[in-house]
A and B are shown apart, each in its own frame.
Chain A
Amino acid sequence: MTPIVSVLIVFIGFTCLLLVGAMVPQSSARVPTGRGRGSKWWGIAKVGEPTNLIQNTIRGGGIGGSYLEPVVQAVLRKKQQRLVRENRGVLEAIAKGANEAIVECKHQFRNRRWNCPTKAFWRGKNIFGKIVDKGCRETAFLYAITSAAVTHAVVRACSEGAIESCTCDYRLHNKYSRSMSSDQNWKWGSCSDNIEFGYKFSRDFVDAGEKIRDMRGTMNLHNNEAGRMHVQSLMRRQCKCHGMSGSCTMKTCWMRLPNLREVGNSIKDRFDGASRVLISNAGSLRDFGRRTRYKFQLKPYNPDHKPPSKKDLVFFEDSPNFCDKDARYGVSGTVGRACNVSSMGVDGCDLMCCGRGYTVSVKTVVERCKCTFKWCCQVECKNCTVTRTYYTCK
């Protein structure tokens, strides 16, 4: 071959590449991009990691003033940035909440085909990968758990005194107290429970990027709200008697915040029974401002089903089967996943390996075992040599 021909080939190839490159964005534009635009803030979870340059953004006071680190600015929308600036200490809580949400998601889905994978190296893309672009069950869960975790973390931070702007809007029935300042409120009556602030803040912050006009926005709003509802409904009332001689003539009650694990369990329970809703809702809805923002009624896909309740998760697209690698949704497939040979459920080898079969390997390994915790804070473990049989999907 002459050099000219080879140059030509290279040129043609390059053009083709360019063409394909130009095609790709076009084709992905049809599968609407930015559908998960409201979820960009999830990246906050990784802002504090060494791979993302700034170690001290979160812990250390760099967030004190009105200045936000560029990395933080990159993942937050305007309104979210304003909220973070206005509420000192809230960014730490959100970051903590986002991280806890990831841990919780991985825990809840550890035995399923989709095991809540997150990107090891986050570069401003969605932390849970492209699955978020699809309006499926998994996405519904992600929105619910992250929204719940933020609510949870903010309430916790309020109870710790880490956020100084948690509101104290004690509204008594008479007009007199309505005009009082928060200090007067506190001295006359009491402050509202932190869950109210956590709930409201989460609504403002998490829902900041969602528009009700399209179906996906409606779905996200509903699932975000569902997550918060789970936190709220798991609050437990506890009371203490402290009347005369400690009797119950005087009794005071408060609401106890649930552990995030309980919230995760509760949301996961709704995962399998999530409601598929009709797409046609989208067009008829208009964004009428704040008041009507949450007053939408989703219709079930199957007219025989009940409309979804406030705590139900909703979706409108089928999930990929997660069996094979699918670059479109960032699915890595179940090849190489461990499975449970004796289980008939989703973690069993039949379902997990999607009928491809599995390999059996026997290995002798040294494990840490019988770990006991000693206050404080040593974990003492023994080394056990065990022979284990591993079942791995082909």
Chain B
Amino acid sequence: MVLTGMFMLGQLTCFLIGGLIAPKPSTAQYNLCTKCYDSTGNRTRWLYPRGKGACKQLESLDSALQAENVVFTFQVPLPRDNVTLDYTRWQQNLIGILQMDILYSKDSPVEEGAKLLLDARLAYANWKPGRKGQTNWEWYAESIEERVLECTISEKKEGHPYVCELIPLFELGSLHHDFYLLNIRLPVFKNKPHNKGIGIPQDMYLVTIYQNGGFTKVWFSIKTVFTPIVLAALVWFWKRVEAQGRPPVLLEKMILALGVALQFLNIPVEWFTLYFDMPYMLLISDVRQGIFYAALLSFWLVFTGEHLMESSGERSTLRTYWKHLSAVVTGCLALFLFDLCERGAHLANCFYSLWATPVGTRLALALIIAAGVSASLYFMFLCWTMWKVFRNISAKRTTLPAMSAVRRLHYQGIIYRFKFLMLTTLVCAAMTVIGFILGQVTEDKWKWESGNTALEIEYTSAFYTGVYGMWNIYTLALLCLYAPSHKLYPPERDPYASTNSGAEEIEFSRLDTDTTEISALASFAKKAATD
């Protein structure tokens, strides 16, 4: 009971930390380009709108200009309140999205499937020591990218603006430097279809998305707090299993695997990003999340399978579940490949997009569909196994009164344990899904007004920290409540019982009797399962 209360409290804390302290997870800054005049047409030259040696700005694109004279420049971040702002490493990553501002003209409209050829070059600069001015612009990345221009217009009137689709431009896995500069040229080559039939471009907008520093701080703290707790639980759990004096059963192995996967997700290696340039962090965090989800999904499958109460006494291994687990593996592999193609490729070229080419789009779609199919297969397997379990449970219920006391206790334990986890899992999953949907439909902030003090909850952040905390607590609960026990059973079955430390005794006795009984039964789930 105490433990349950603590879990609840921990959950509430996580939610409130996210909602009250943290800002929203990420922010988008809307930047308008400055059109610079490049007299030389030399694409390796850096042109920038602000600071010493700023470029000559173009007021409008008049007909005296050539394509190589026009450079769209973005110098981020923008100054505010007369302060030259700079990026901090707490802001973690930067995503750039481009939006074209194009006017309609009857004789030169945006053609269907018109292709933009963007010559994009990215540079960085830092503060000089003591914040006295900034260093020169240094090359960071460059690429010549092709993107399809998709624009629509409601009223085809001369000079009216098109509404153009967003063009994903770049993704930086680390925000290591203080300032960034993007130079975009739209080159024209003879005999090539690029940058032709693109209407009358007026301006370019760049939306830069970064993680908020405050959110990163809160996030890191949560991870850092959870790491030792989960580690302690893992060690305790494994000691308990070893104390049984028998090889661990599959379910125990699965719980351990889940715990290890969670711990892998928890370990706050992100702290290193504050000191080193680690552009692969995005990929790594995706992989870590993927591993945790794979472990969680596999665990549910095995857990239901182990409660079928119809196996023939032989110890089940992972191989028993290969058919079901292959769905999880395929799905995760597909997603991993997709991630590798998208975020992995960003390591080599941050302007790369899998969706930009038809082949890439097909590949991406194929991988996503594969993941989707395996997900639905997985849920079919899971539902089918669950249905079988419930059928068996109701069949057992009818025969329960006719059994001996020990056996009845055993089966009641199995049924109770199964139902308990089912309920918890369902509640957790439902809360995640509901929270997610609420986040999609509502605004970022929720307000509760009481009297003259308005309490604002940063909903999105609360959702992230809440869900993260919830799955941590879920796993912790599994580790604590489903650890094999030595109590309540004849000592000859548990030869190491007397060697257990007193501390563990106390810890265990804090649980209410019902739960203890269930946990105690965990080790016998497979033994004497024949009816």
Interface residues of A, Cβ cutoff 8 Å to B: 59, 88, 107, 156, 158-162, 164-168, 170, 172-174, 177, 181-183, 186-191, 193-194, 238, 240, 242, 244-246, 248-257, 259, 261-262, 370-379
Given contact pairs A172-B458, A189-B23, A253-B444, a sample of 18 additional A-B residue pairs in the complex whose CB atoms are under 8 Å apart: A160-B31, A164-B80, A166-B80, A167-B81, A174-B20, A177-B214, A186-B80, A189-B27, A238-B207, A248-B440, A249-B436, A252-B26, A373-B108, A374-B196, A375-B188, A376-B186, A377-B63, A377-B65
Question: Do A189 and B436 contact each other (CB < 8 Å), given the known contacts A166-B80, A261-B159, A376-B66?
Answer: no
Nearest chain A CB to B74's CB is how many angstroms away? 9
Q: Mark B43-81, 1 if CB is under 8 A from A, else 0.
A: 000000110000000010111111101100001011111
> Which residues, 252 to 278 on B, are CB-close (under 8 Å) to A?
none
Q: Are A240 and B207 in contact (CB under 8 A)?
A: yes
Complex Cα–Cα for A120 and B299 (A): 80
Whether B142 is near chain A, meaning CB under 8 Å from some CB there, is no
Nearest chain B CB to A118's CB is how many angstroms away? 19
Whether B135 is near chain A, meaning CB under 8 Å from some CB there, is no
Complex Cα–Cα for A371 and B455 (A): 58
Question: Do A159 and B70 contact each other (CB < 8 Å), given the known contacts A167-B81, A190-B27?
Answer: no
Q: Mark B153-177, 1 if CB is under 8 A from A, else 0.
A: 0000001110000101001000000
Nearest chain B CB to A90's CB is how many angstroms away? 12
Q: Mark B458-484, 1 if CB is under 8 A from A, else 0.
A: 100000000000000000000000000
Nearest 4 interchain pairs by C-beta: A189-B23, A190-B27, A173-B456, A168-B80
Question: Do A190 and B108 contact each other (CB < 8 Å), given the known contacts A160-B32, A245-B338?
Answer: no
Q: Are A377 and B62 in contact (CB under 8 A)?
A: yes
Nearest chain A CB to B65's CB is how many angstroms away? 5
Complex Cα–Cα for A173 and B21 (A): 9
Q: Are A373 and B199 in contact (CB under 8 A)?
A: yes
Nearest chain A CB to B220's CB is how many angstroms away? 14
Q: Are B27 and A255 in contact (CB under 8 A)?
A: no
Question: In the complex, which residues of chain B have a beta carbon less than 8 angstroms from the beta carbon of A242?
Answer: 26, 95, 171, 209
Question: In the complex, which residues of chain B have a beta carbon less than 8 angstroms from the beta carbon of A259?
Answer: 101, 161
Q: Are B67 and A375 in contact (CB under 8 A)?
A: yes
Q: Which of B82-90, B300-308, B500-508 sits within the interface?
A: B82-90
Question: In the complex, which residues of chain A have a beta carbon less than 8 angstroms from the beta carbon of B241?
Answer: none
> When the two chains form the complex, which single residue of A166, A168, A240, A249 contacts B166, counting CB atoms closer than 8 Å?
A240
Nearest chain B CB to A367's CB is how many angstroms away? 13
Question: In the complex, which residues of chain A have a beta carbon less than 8 angstroms from the beta carbon of B82?
Answer: 88, 164-165
Question: In the complex, which residues of chain A have a beta carbon less than 8 angstroms from the beta carbon of B444?
Answer: 253
Interface size counted on chain B using CB atoms at 8 A: 82
Some 28 contacts from A to B, beta carbons below 8 A apart, are A160-B49, A164-B79, A164-B80, A167-B81, A168-B80, A173-B454, A174-B21, A177-B214, A182-B81, A183-B85, A188-B212, A189-B24, A189-B212, A190-B29, A194-B30, A238-B207, A251-B440, A254-B30, A254-B207, A261-B159, A371-B105, A371-B108, A373-B199, A375-B67, A375-B195, A375-B196, A376-B201, A377-B67
Q: Are A245 and B21 in contact (CB under 8 A)?
A: no
Question: In the complex, which residues of chain B have a beta carbon less than 8 angstroms from the beta carbon of A378?
Answer: 63
Name A168's closest neighbour in chain B (CB-CB).
B80
Nearest chain A CB to B215's CB is how many angstroms away? 8
Question: In the complex, which residues of chain A have a beta carbon less than 8 angstroms from the beta carbon of B69?
Answer: 376
Q: Are A173 and B455 in contact (CB under 8 A)?
A: yes
Question: In the complex, which residues of chain B have a beta carbon less than 8 angstroms from the beta carbon of A166?
Answer: 78-81
> Which residues, 170 to 196 on B, are CB-close (under 8 Å) to A?
171, 186, 188, 195-196
Q: Are B33 and A252 in contact (CB under 8 A)?
A: no
Complex Cα–Cα for A256 and B99 (A): 10
A-B pairs under 8 A by CB, number: 179
Whether B34 is near chain A, meaning CB under 8 Å from some CB there, is yes
Name A172's closest neighbour in chain B (CB-CB).
B23
Name A246's closest neighbour in chain B (CB-CB).
B342
Question: In the complex, which residues of chain A have a beta carbon less than 8 angstroms from the beta carbon of B95?
Answer: 240, 242
Nearest chain A CB to B101's CB is how many angstroms away? 7
Tell me which of B70, B108, B171, B456 has the highest count of chain A C-beta atoms within 10 A of its own C-beta.
Answer: B108
Q: Are A375 and B201 in contact (CB under 8 A)?
A: yes
Question: In the complex, which residues of chain A have a beta carbon less than 8 angstroms from the beta carbon of B207?
Answer: 238, 240, 254
Whether B335 is near chain A, meaning CB under 8 Å from some CB there, is yes
Whether B213 is near chain A, meaning CB under 8 Å from some CB there, is yes
> When the two chains form the complex, which single residue of A162, A173, A250, A252 contacts B27, counting CB atoms closer than 8 Å?
A252
Q: Are A377 and B61 in contact (CB under 8 A)?
A: yes
Nearest chain A CB to B275's CB is how many angstroms away? 17
> When the two chains form the complex, which single residue of A162, A182, A250, A379 contacts B80, counting CB atoms closer than 8 Å?
A182
Q: Are B436 and A376 in contact (CB under 8 A)?
A: no
Complex Cα–Cα for A256 and B290 (A): 34
Tell me which of B81, B342, B458 has the highest count of chain A C-beta atoms within 10 A of its own C-beta.
Answer: B81
Q: Are B28 and A252 in contact (CB under 8 A)?
A: yes
> When the two chains form the complex, which single residue of B63, B168, B212 contacts A190, counting CB atoms closer than 8 Å?
B212
Nearest chain A CB to B37's CB is how many angstroms away? 12
Complex Cα–Cα for A80 and B70 (A): 35
Name A159's closest neighbour in chain B (CB-CB).
B32
Q: Are A188 and B81 in contact (CB under 8 A)?
A: no
Question: In the complex, which residues of chain B have a beta carbon less than 8 angstroms from the beta carbon of A249?
Answer: 436
Q: Are A245 and B342 in contact (CB under 8 A)?
A: yes
Question: In the complex, which residues of chain A have a beta carbon less than 8 angstroms from the beta carbon of B78?
Answer: 158-159, 161, 166
Q: Are B85 and A186 in contact (CB under 8 A)?
A: yes
> Which residues, 1 to 43 on B, are CB-close (under 8 Å) to A?
20-21, 23-34
Tell me which of A88, A161, A165, A379 has the highest count of chain B C-beta atoms within 10 A of its own C-beta.
Answer: A161
> Which residues, 388 to 406 on B, are CB-close (under 8 Å) to A?
none
Complex Cα–Cα for A218 and B242 (A): 83
Nearest chain B CB to A114's CB is how many angstroms away? 21
Question: In the complex, which residues of chain A have a beta carbon less than 8 angstroms from the beta carbon of B27?
Answer: 189-191, 252
Q: Are A245 and B83 in contact (CB under 8 A)?
A: no
Q: Are A191 and B80 in contact (CB under 8 A)?
A: yes
Complex Cα–Cα for A253 and B97 (A): 12
Q: Are B186 and A250 in contact (CB under 8 A)?
A: no
Name A165's closest neighbour in chain B (CB-CB).
B82
> When the two chains form the complex, which single residue of B33, B159, B209, B436 contacts A240, counting CB atoms closer than 8 Å?
B209
Question: Do A256 and B20 contact each other (CB < 8 Å), given the known contacts A246-B342, A376-B66?
Answer: no
